[in-house]
Amino acid sequence: MILWFGKKKKEEELKAAGATMVEPELSAEELAAKEAAEAEAVRLAEEEAARKAAEQEEIDRKVREAAIAWEERQKRERAEAEAEAKRLAAEAAEAERLAEAARERADADVAAAAEAERLAEEARRKREAEEARRAAEEKAAKELALLEDRRQAERQRAEAEAAALKAEEDRQAAIARGEPDPLAETKDPGFFSKLSDGLSKSSGKLTSGLSVFGKRKLDDDTLEELEDLLITSDLGAKVAAKVTAGLSRDRFDKEISEDEIRVALAREIETIMSPREQVVDFSDGPRPRVVLFVGVNGSGKTTTIGKIASKLKEQGAKALLVAGDTFRAAAIEQLAVWGERAGIPVLAKEPGADAAGLVYEAIEKAREEDLDLVLVDTAGRLQNKAELMEELSKVVRVTRKLDPDAPHDVILVLDATVGQNALSQVEAFRHTAGVTGLVMTKLDGTAKGGVLVAIAEAHDLPIHFVGVGEKAEDLKPFSAEAYARALVGVES
């Protein structure tokens, strides 16, 4: 073993002692050892340097590796951060896209709501337009109807005027021939006051009802009220509408006084009634002229025959009265009294006799005796309507055996006090009994004269007479003008 520390120590000890060590002369062996030691030291130093270099290299490598690793980490982290940033950006984009979609959906919802509203609005506009169109159509139809009414009213007025002119001409001609004035009776002031007293009793409602219409504007409300009043006064809905339409045509929206409204109403009513005004001339036509009086019990048939007989007698007619109401002794007696009073023969049989047979006999008798007229009273009350009609048609059948044209007149006698019911009586008797004309009685009483206007409007049947009392002189030829004026309370 080479103790070179020993040498070094020795040198250091020598240095410390200040003595300079003189290198001793070395033997070859020692030199070789020294050289070997020195070579060994060099090798060791080299080894040490190599080791250090290796160590340094190792350190450098580690540093490099660490740097690379750090760099890689940095790179990775950067990449990760970038990726995260990208992901976040993508998320944000997605969120934005979703928000946009939501916005779009919301916009779409708003648009849908707006569209729905627009459609609703359009539907509403269409409905309104349709309603307006319908209203316009209705208005046009009403106007057309009004126009048609007006035309008809004008036609009727023209006809009435022509008829009145003709009647007046006939009347003047009759007067010129020295005959009595046929209309004298309807112009009789006593007659008018009786008629208007009676009618105003009944139509108290109409005449007094009308007084509220003075100094009012003739607008829709007034017309409607007036129409109601006319309906409740028995004129019926149709006449009421016709009359108010006539008034509105001429006077709409004008202020109208009570007198004006009465006069205008009277004129409208007269227009409706005047075509029914027909003074019957019993001296016309075949001989004997057979006239049947029909109607319900108590309507005034017997009384009316009595009154007509009295008038005819005055005018020189040769008549025969037939007590065809064989059901009641009192009815036979009643006719007998009228006949006696007027000096006219009455043919009657015991109660319960066959009415048709009696009429057959009467016609034969009239032929034999060359009489002008056979006035036949009939029964009004049988067990039921069918029975009554059967009785009447039997009388008619038998009459026709002697004269196919007979009976020449079938006059339905109506009691004014029954009001609207008179209209149903006309309907019931008109066709089954072949009614040719009407008489309305008891207009002096608590009459409901408005119904005669409704009848005149609904039935093309002449109204021959009106009865205003129980006496012979209380039967008057029907005058549309007098009737209309009395009904609404216009002074003649």
Ligand X SMILES: Nc1nc2c(ncn2[C@@H]2O[C@H](COP(=O)(O)OP(=O)(O)O)[C@@H](O)[C@H]2O)c(=O)[nH]1
Instruction: Report whether 262 contacts 490 (CB < 8 A).
Output: yes
Structure tokens at 291: 């006239």
Helix (H, G, I), strand (E, B) or coil at 172: helix
Which residue from 202, 274, 302, 310 is in contact with ligand X, where contact means CB under 6 A? Answer: 302
Choices 25-33, 126-134, 256-264, 466-474; region in contact with ligand X by CB under 6 A:
466-474
Apex 257 CA angle, 255 and 263, nearest 5: 115
Spatial CA neighbour of 313 closest among 269, 372, 259, 257: 372
Q: Kindly indicate which of the ranges 72-80, 148-156, 402-410, 440-448 contains the residues binding ligand X, using the contact rule CB under 6 A.
A: 440-448
Taking CB under 6 A as the rule, does residue 324 contact ligand X?
no
CB of 337 to ligand X, least distance (A): 11
Could you tell me the two tokens for 319? 């008549």
Q: Which residues bind Mg ion (CB under 5 A)?
A: 301-302, 331
When the beta carbons of 288 and 469 are compared against ligand X, the nearer one is 469
DSSP string, 335-359: HHHHHHHHT--EE---TT--HHHHH
442 contributes a contact to ligand X by CB under 6 A: yes
Instruction: Count the site residues for ligand X by CB under 6 A.
Output: 20
Q: Facing residues of 414 across strands?
A: 440
Task: Map the footprint of ligand X across residues 110-149, applying CB under 6 A.
Answer: none
State the DSSP H helix or E strand holding residue 67, giving kind and residue range, or none if neither: helix 28-176
Interface with ligand X, residue 229, by CB under 6 A: no
Of 160, 346, 406, 468, the residue at the interface with ligand X (CB under 6 A) is 468
Burial class (CB in 10 A: 0-12, 13-18, 19+), 231: middle
Residues 6+ apart with CB under 8 A from 91: none
Stretch that binds ligand X, among 67-75, 87-95, 341-349, 436-444 (CB under 6 A): 436-444
Rg from Cα positions in the chain: 66
Is residue 380 part of the contact set for ligand X (CB under 6 A)? yes
244 vs 326 by CB, closer to ligand X: 326
Shortest Cβ 376–ligand X spacing (Å) = 12
CA dist 157 and 159 (Å) reads: 5
Min dist CB 338 to ligand X, Å, is 9
Q: Is residue 434 within the footprint of ligand X (CB under 6 A)?
A: no
Which of residues 324, 467, 477, 489 is near ligand X by CB under 6 A?
467
Can you tell me whether residue 230 is helix, strand or coil?
helix
For residue 442, the partner it binds in Mg ion, ligand X, none, with Cβ less than 5 to 8 A by kind, is: ligand X
Q: In this chain, which residue has its C-beta nearest to ligand X?
A: 467
User: Does residue number 393 form part of the binding site for ligand X (CB under 6 A)?
Assistant: no
300 belongs to the binding site for ligand X (CB under 6 A): yes
Gap between the Cα atoms of 348 and 361, Å rounded: 10
Smallest gap from Cβ 445 to ligand X, in A, equals 5
Q: Give first-to-last CA distance, the chain, whole Å.
A: 184
Contacts of 182 (CB under 8 A, 6+ apart): 170, 171, 174, 279, 477
- Min dist CB 468 to ligand X, Å, is 6
Sites of contact with ligand X (CB under 6 A): 295, 297-303, 334, 380, 413, 441-442, 444-445, 467-470, 474
